[in-house]
Amino acid sequence: MDEPLEPQLMTPDTAPLVSALHKKDYLTPQALCYEYFDNPDESRLYYGLDAKSGKVAASQAFVGQTLIRNGEIVPTLMSERTLLAPAFWGRSDYRSFFLWSLSETARAVSAGFVWGGTSALKAFQRYGFDNYDCFVHDALAFRPAAVMRAATAPFSWKSRAFHAALYALSLLKYWLSLPGLRRTPWSVAEEVPADADLAALLQTISRAHPDSYFMRYTRAKLGWFAASNPYRKRTVVTFRRNGALDGLAIVEDRRDGFATVVDLLVADAGQSAGYLLALARHQASLGRSAMRYWANGQNAYIGKLREGLRRLGGVPLRKVGAHLVLRGPGEDGKAHPPAAALAMTWIWQPPL
C-alpha cells in the first residue's frame, strides 16, 4: 500500500517544482506565481511529495473567485491544476490529497462552494462533484473578413466549409437586423472603471437577477484578469450612458481577427442586442470581423444575452466538451447552488 502523499503549499521558491511537474510551456514558475500570488482573492496550490522517492507526484490548486448574488458577497473556489504524474498513476491516495487540499483552502477563505470546468468527469465524481453539461458557444459575424478567415483556418476542409457557411449566415442575418435597431445610446471606451462605479453596476445587475451569481469585479481583479495580465491580451470595454457606467465587457484578442467576449455585464439585459451592437461596432473599428461568446446556457441572465446575440444574427458553434462541476465545501459536497444559478462565462477560468 502506498504511503499518503505529503501535501506542501507552493511558495515562490517551490514554484519551479510545480512547473516541472506540469511540463507545459506556458506554466512557467513566473506564470504560476502570477496565477496564485497576484490574484486579489486568496488562492492556494498544493503539491504532493511521494514519501518513498521524495519526488513531486501531484498537484491541486484552488483559485479564489469572489462572486456576488443579490447584492451579497460570496467567496468561492475554482478547482485548477489537477494532476497526478504518469509515473504515479494507479495510486489510491490522490483522492485524499485532493480533498485535504480542498478542505484546507475552503476553511481559510470561508468558501461557499467549489466549482470548475473539466472533461475529466469520472475523476471529479470521485471527489464528490456533480457535473452539468451546460456550456454553449456562439458567434456573430459583422464583417465579410470573418467568412474568409473561417474558410482559410488551419482545420480540415469539412470544418472550414462548415464554419465558413455558419459565419456567412451570421453575417447575412446581421446585415438584415440593422434597419430594425435604433442608434445605441452608450459611449464605448477602453478603460478600467473606478471601484465605486464597478460596485454600483454589480449591485444593479445582481439585484435585477437575484438568483444568479456574477463575478465580483474590482479594479484589482480586472487588472489581474485583463488590463495588466501579461499572459493574455485582454481589454476592458465600458458602456456609459450620460457618463454613468451602464455595462462592461472583457474582450480577448487571440490575434485571429476575431474578438472573444469573455464576459459581458450590462445593467439592462433586455437591451442586450443594443449593447452587443455597440460592442460589435467598437470591435469593427479595431479591425476585427466577428465576436465569439462562451457561457453557461442554463443561466437566465445568459439566456437574455444570447437572445440579443441571436437578434443580431448570432449562430451556435460547436458543442463545448467541458462540463461544469460543482460541490459544496463540506465533507459530503452537497451544499452547492444549481448549475443554472451561475452566470458563468469564459472569464471565470484562470488568467493564463
pTM of full prediction above 0.85: yes
**Based on the domain organization, do 292 and 145 belong to the same domain?**
yes
In this structure, the chain runs to a length of 352
**Based on the domain organization, do 104 and 48 belong to the same domain?**
yes
- The torsion of the CA quartet 13, 93, 81, 299, rounded to 10 degrees, works out to -140
**Based on the domain organization, do 75 and 180 belong to the same domain?**
no
The predicted-structure confidence for 95-151, as pLDDT tens digits, reads as follows 899 999 999 999 999 999 999 998 889 999 999 999 999 999 999 999 999 999 999
- Binned at pLDDT 50, 70 and 90, residue 83 comes out as very high
DSSP per-residue letters across 5-19: PEEEE--TTTHHHHH
**Based on the domain organization, do 94 and 222 belong to the same domain?**
no
Residue 187 lies in a domain: yes
The structural domain count of the chain equals 2
Q: Rounded to whole angstroms, how far apart are CA atoms 265 and 201?
A: 9
CA-to-CA separations, 283 to 77, 173, 239, 249, 271, in angstroms, rounded? 32, 18, 13, 11, 19
**Based on the domain organization, do 104 and 189 belong to the same domain?**
no
**Based on the domain organization, do 163 and 236 belong to the same domain?**
yes
pLDDT for 1: 52
**Based on the domain organization, do 83 and 157 belong to the same domain?**
no
Task: Read off the C-alpha cell for 86.
Answer: 504518469
**Based on the domain organization, do 90 and 145 belong to the same domain?**
no
Q: Residue holding cell 458563468?
A: 344
Residue 129 lies in a domain: no
Strand blocks (E) in the chain: 6-9, 44-49, 56-69, 72-84, 114-118, 130-132, 135-141, 187-190, 213-215, 234-241, 244-253, 258-266, 290-296, 315-316, 323-327
| CATH number for 219 | 3.40.630.30
Residue 312 lies in a domain: yes
**Based on the domain organization, do 15 and 82 belong to the same domain?**
yes
For residue 106, the enclosing domain spans: 6-112
Residue 36 lies in a domain: yes
**Based on the domain organization, do 97 and 152 belong to the same domain?**
no
